[in-house]
């Protein structure tokens, strides 16, 4: 088994994001105040309240059930949430905190999803799977939906291990080069009347950032000529209501920019399998320039001259190391998309716009 | 599926009683599981002819998958599992029990099982040691004690744990140390905490003789008086309907009870 040394997301954080996907109103992290801090801040930007039970040394020694009961009652009274998720942390799970028992004793009116998970429970996707199982057991999502998503998450983990950031012992983060060379390559191809295939294979909310490339390339085509093909995992009929909303928002905005001819590969939570469909569609198109944004390594049969756009500095390093020299990073995407309901501008998109407007060649 | 946990002071005879109960249940044709929770992993030996089996956590440490653990077949088909644990002074035994109990529940336990006996270490000292008592796991506890003060003190402490956790006590078992007025002392103690004595096991050398041969008394001396006593204890546990959360005593009241019973001044 490959030993992976660089830091990577853990099941606690994946569990919190999955609760957000389920539209819970409030998440309680049962653990020390700092646990999951950076992720919590982002989730709060997405409109979820994130609370901590703020475990201290004495709670480790004596148990913190009372503390959790108290926090449950307080948030139920002060924020009247409909649904609350409780996420275990390394600290609470090592000492054997009984989340179910605390929920029962608290006796509050909100529906509570207690998720027995901690940082050492394997791949980050295991955290998401535990949330889905709890949600299914409470009747919040249908069992078949839980099973479908579990299959996706298992596949995503396998792809990461095979060719993503857990395929390498160490990856140094990289911000990559500027986007100018790639933007020039795209505009040159359009001027010469060539075909550009833009593929979105993005994970959930990050699609709000990557979808901007469709808009920029469309604008460039109108000014310079050429042909474009759009492929995207934006099926608005697949996934949890929140995730379908993302597709709805993005398709609406793309429509507003005159982009309606889009080949759909699957839903926003189907990126591990939608990548294979996207690769088939790309094979059928035979475009001179291929742009793949989101999680490009989910696509088989990538070409060395493909333009790969991602938001993770380590993923970017991984692509560059493997010889994909046209890889660029949208490093701030993940933070920028958290509170949006419409497509946001991307760096590559803005670079293409500037190249077209100022007629750089 | 009945799931019972046997608690009690270290060295009081939990494993002897658990193994003989398991053997007795299996003899009656019940699909019986014995789950040893002691890191020493020696509880199941008398069900397995003196053989020490690889522990669940040993296998896990070596990277084995939970579902691949080979459960040992003991006397009359009793399924034996030893949870095991870390080396002394390393890691966290409590966490080991939590992990193993969850895995057993997920991978092995099903509705075809009639009874699972958890032979739990010494005392409910932390969340890990209480793991077998969590929702979905054991829902009935029997405490083994003698008439000695420290045994009753430990029993009382376990009741404190059950009280905190909201878990029911099925009753007390007295494993005799041959102290004066033992049966009635334990019986009175049981009543004071709101429970009852379900069985009295007198001291008998046949227990040690059989243990030395790697057998339970049920197997090694099936016609002995002691074997009959273990069978009767098993019946009373199976028939037991009344269980409730105990109310522990103040430790000084235990001393008072014993002083009065034994007439010591």
**A308 SS3 class:** strand
Q: Are B160 and B46 a contacting pair, CB within 8 Å?
A: no
B21 interface with A at CB cutoff 8 Å: no
For residue B26, the distance in angstroms to the closest alpha carbon of chain A comes to 32
Tokens of A314: 């380590």
Residue A109 DSSP one-character state: S
pLDDT on residue A84: 98
B94 interface with A at CB cutoff 8 Å: yes
Instruction: Return the ∠ at Cα B201 (arms to B2 and B6), rounded to 5°.
Output: 35
Q: What residue in A sits closest to B125 (Cα-Cα)?
A: A62
pLDDT on residue B261: 82
Picking from A59, A96, A122, A134 by the largest number of B CB atoms within 10 A of its own CB, the best residue to mutate is A96
Q: Are strands B72-73 and B79-82 parallel, antiparallel or unpaired?
A: antiparallel
pLDDT on residue B66: 94
Per-residue pLDDT tens for A125-177? 999 999 999 999 999 999 999 999 999 999 999 999 999 999 999 999 999 88
B135 interface with A at CB cutoff 8 Å: yes
Q: Are B115 and B32 a contacting pair, CB within 8 Å?
A: yes
Q: What residue in B sits closest to A64 (Cα-Cα)?
A: B127
User: With an 8 Å Cβ cutoff, are B166 and A101 in contact?
Assistant: yes
Q: Which residues of B touch A60 (CB under 8 A)?
A: none
Residue B95 has its nearest CB partner, among A63, A94, A98, at A94
Q: With 60 as the cut, is the pLDDT of residue A100 above it?
A: yes
Residue-level pLDDT, tens digit, chain B, 265 residues? 999 999 999 999 999 999 999 999 999 999 999 999 988 888 999 999 999 999 999 999 998 999 999 999 999 999 999 999 988 888 998 899 999 999 999 999 999 999 999 999 877 778 888 888 887 788 899 999 999 999 999 999 999 999 988 899 999 999 999 998 999 999 999 999 999 999 999 999 999 999 999 999 999 999 999 999 999 999 999 999 999 999 999 999 999 999 988 776 5
**A269 SS3 class:** coil
Residue A45: alpha-carbon gap to chain centroid: 15
pLDDT on residue B265: 56
User: With an 8 Å Cβ cutoff, are A98 and B134 in contact?
Assistant: yes
Q: Are A167 and A159 a contacting pair, CB within 8 Å?
A: no
Residue B135 has its nearest CB partner, among A63, A93, A100, at A100
Residue A28: alpha-carbon gap to chain centroid: 21
Per-residue pLDDT tens for A56-71? 999 999 999 999 999 9
pLDDT on residue A1: 55
Residue A257 DSSP one-character state: T
Q: Which residues of A touch B95 (CB under 8 A)?
A: 94, 96
Nearest Cα to Cα of residue B92 among B60, B117, B127 = B127
Nearest Cα to Cα of residue A126 among A150, A160, A98, A90 = A150
pTM for this one? 0.89
Q: Which residues of B touch A96 (CB under 8 A)?
A: 94-95, 98, 126-128, 130-131
d(CA B55, CA B93): 13
Burial of A245 (0-12, 13-18, 19+ CB in 10 A): middle
Q: What is the ipTM, given to two decimal places?
A: 0.79
d(CA A334, CA A209): 8
Picking from B62, B63, B105, B127 by the largest number of A CB atoms within 10 A of its own CB, the best residue to mutate is B127
The per-residue DSSP string of A331-342 comes to: TTHHHHTTT-SS
d(CA B142, CA B157): 13
Strands of the sheet containing B140-145, edge to edge, are: B72-73, B79-82, B32-36, B115-119, B2-8, B140-145, B169-175, B197-201
For residue B209, the distance in angstroms to the closest alpha carbon of chain A comes to 39
Least confidently predicted of A22-31, A194-203, B64-73, B115-124: B115-124
B98 interface with A at CB cutoff 8 Å: yes
Q: Which residues of B touch A93 (CB under 8 A)?
A: 98
Please state the rounded mean pLDDT for residues A218-238: 97
Nearest Cα to Cα of residue A288 among A196, A174, A182, A183 = A196
For residue A215, the distance in angstroms to the closest alpha carbon of chain B comes to 49
User: With an 8 Å Cβ cutoff, are B126 and A96 in contact?
Assistant: yes
Q: Which residues of A touch B127 (CB under 8 A)?
A: 63, 95-98
Nearest Cα to Cα of residue B162 among B1, B8, B32 = B8
User: With an 8 Å Cβ cutoff, are B95 and A96 in contact?
Assistant: yes
Four-residue CA torsion sign, B102, B106, B111, B116: negative
Q: Are A113 and A84 a contacting pair, CB within 8 Å?
A: yes
Q: Which residues of A touch B130 (CB under 8 A)?
A: 96
Q: Which residues of A touch B126 (CB under 8 A)?
A: 95-96
Burial of A78 (0-12, 13-18, 19+ CB in 10 A): exposed
Per-residue pLDDT tens for A75-86? 999 999 999 999
Q: For tokens 């901590």, name the residue.
A: A52
Tokens of A284: 């059928």
Nearest Cα to Cα of residue A345 among A253, A271, A263 = A253
Please state the rounded mean pLDDT for residues A195-220: 98
d(CA B177, CA B160): 24
SS (H, E, C) B244-262: ECCCCCCHHHHHHHHHHHH
pLDDT on residue A31: 97
**A347 SS3 class:** helix
SS (H, E, C) chain B: CEEEEEEECCCCCHHHHHHHHHHHHHHCCCCEEEEECCCCCCCCHHHCCCCCCCCHHHHHHCCCCHHHCCCEECHHHCEEEECCCCCCCCCCHHHHHHHHHHHHHHHCCCCCCCEEEEECCCCCCCCCCCHHHCCCCCCEEEEEECCCHHHHHHHHHHHHHHHHHCCCEEEEEEECCCCCCHHHHHHHHHHHCCCCEEEEECCCHHHHHHHHCCCCHHHHCCCCHHHHHHHHHHHHHHHCCCCECCCCCCHHHHHHHHHHHHCCC
Phi/psi of residue A10, nearest 5 degrees = -115, 170
Residue B98 has its nearest CB partner, among A63, A96, A100, at A96
Q: What number of C-beta contacts closer than 8 Å exist between A and B?
A: 27
Q: For tokens 């009656």, name the residue.
A: B28
d(CA B217, CA B219): 5
d(CA A358, CA A87): 51
User: With an 8 Å Cβ cutoff, are A101 and B135 in contact?
Assistant: yes
Alpha helices in chain A (DSSP H): 11-21, 37-45, 57-62, 65-79, 90-94, 99-106, 125-137, 143-163, 180-191, 207-210, 212-224, 241-256, 271-285, 313-321, 333-336, 347-357
Q: Are strands A307-310 and A327-329 parallel, antiparallel or unpaired?
A: parallel
Per-residue pLDDT tens for A264-311? 999 999 999 999 999 999 999 989 999 999 999 999 999 999 999 999
d(CA A99, CA B48): 37
User: With an 8 Å Cβ cutoff, are B126 and A95 in contact?
Assistant: yes
């Amino acid at each position: 088994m490959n030993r992976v040394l660089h830091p990577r997301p853990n099941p606690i954080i994946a569990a919190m994001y999955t609760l957000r996907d389920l539209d819970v109103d409030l998440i309680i992290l049962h653990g020390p105040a700092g646990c999951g801090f950076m992720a919590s801040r982002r989730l709060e930007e997405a409109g979820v309240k994130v609370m901590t039970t703020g475990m201290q040394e004495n709670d480790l020694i004596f148990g913190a059930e009372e503390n959790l009961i108290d926090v449950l009652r307080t948030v139920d009274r002060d924020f009247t949430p409909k649904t609350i998720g409780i996420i275990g942390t390394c600290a609470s799970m090592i000492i054997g905190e009984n989340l179910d028992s605390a929920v029962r004793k608290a006796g509050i009116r909100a529906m509570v999803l207690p998720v027995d998970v901690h940082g050492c429970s394997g791949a980050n996707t295991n955290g998401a799977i535990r949330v889905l199982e709890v949600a299914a057991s409470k009747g919040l999502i249908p069992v078949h939906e839980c099973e479908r998503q579990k299959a996706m998450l298992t596949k995503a983990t396998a792809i990461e291990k095979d060719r993503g950031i857990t395929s390498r012992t160490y990856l140094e983060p990289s911000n990559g080069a500027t986007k100018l060379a790639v933007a020039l390559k795209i505009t040159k191809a359009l001027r010469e009347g060539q075909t550009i295939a833009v593929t979105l294979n993005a994970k959930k909310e990050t699609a709000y950032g990557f979808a901007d490339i469709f808009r920029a390339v469309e604008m460039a085509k109108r000014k310079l000529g050429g042909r474009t093909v759009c492929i995207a995992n934006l099926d608005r009929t697949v996934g949890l209501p929140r995730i379908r909303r993302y597709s709805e928002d993005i398709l609406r905005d793309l429509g507003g920019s005159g982009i309606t001819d889009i080949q759909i590969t699957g839903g926003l939570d189907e990126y591990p399998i939608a990548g294979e469909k996207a690769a088939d569609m790309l094979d059928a198109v035979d475009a001179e320039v291929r742009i793949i944004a989101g999680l490009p390594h989910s696509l088989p049969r990538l070409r060395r001259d493909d333009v790969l756009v991602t938001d993770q500095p380590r993923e970017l390093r991984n692509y560059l190391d493997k010889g994909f020299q046209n890889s660029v990073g949208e490093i701030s995407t993940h933070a920028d998309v958290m509170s949006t309901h419409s497509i946001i501008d991307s760096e590559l998109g803005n670079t293409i716009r500037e190249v077209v407007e100022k007629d750089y060649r | 599926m009945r799931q019972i946990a046997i608690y009690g002071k270290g060295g009081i005879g939990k494993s002897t009683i658990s193994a003989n109960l398991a053997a007795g249940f299996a003899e009656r044709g019940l699909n019986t599981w014995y789950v040893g929770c002691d890191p020493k992993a020696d509880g199941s030996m008398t069900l397995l002819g003196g053989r020490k089996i690889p522990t669940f956590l040993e296998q896990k440490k070596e990277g084995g998958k939970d579902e691949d653990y080979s459960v040992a077949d003991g006397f009359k088909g009793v399924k034996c599992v030893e949870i095991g644990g870390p080396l002394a002074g390393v890691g966290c035994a409590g966490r080991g029990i939590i992990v193993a109990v969850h895995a057993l529940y997920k991978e092995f336990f099903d509705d075809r099982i009639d009874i699972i006996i958890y032979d739990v270490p010494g005392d409910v000292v932390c969340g890990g040691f209480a793991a077998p008592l969590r929702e979905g796991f054991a829902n009935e506890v029997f405490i083994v004690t003698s008439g000695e003060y420290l045994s009753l003190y430990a029993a009382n402490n376990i009741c404190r744990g059950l009280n905190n956790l909201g878990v029911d006590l099925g009753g007390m078992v007295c494993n005799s140390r041959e102290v004066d007025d033992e049966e009635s002392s334990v019986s009175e103690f049981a009543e004071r905490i709101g429970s009852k004595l379900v069985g009295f096991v007198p001291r008998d050398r046949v227990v040690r003789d059989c243990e030395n041969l790697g057998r339970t008394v049920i197997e090694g001396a099936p016609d002995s008086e002691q074997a009959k006593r273990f069978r009767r204890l098993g019946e009373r546990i199976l028939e037991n309907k009344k269980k409730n959360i105990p109310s522990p005593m103040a430790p000084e009241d235990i001393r008072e009870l014993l002083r009065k019973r034994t007439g010591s001044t």
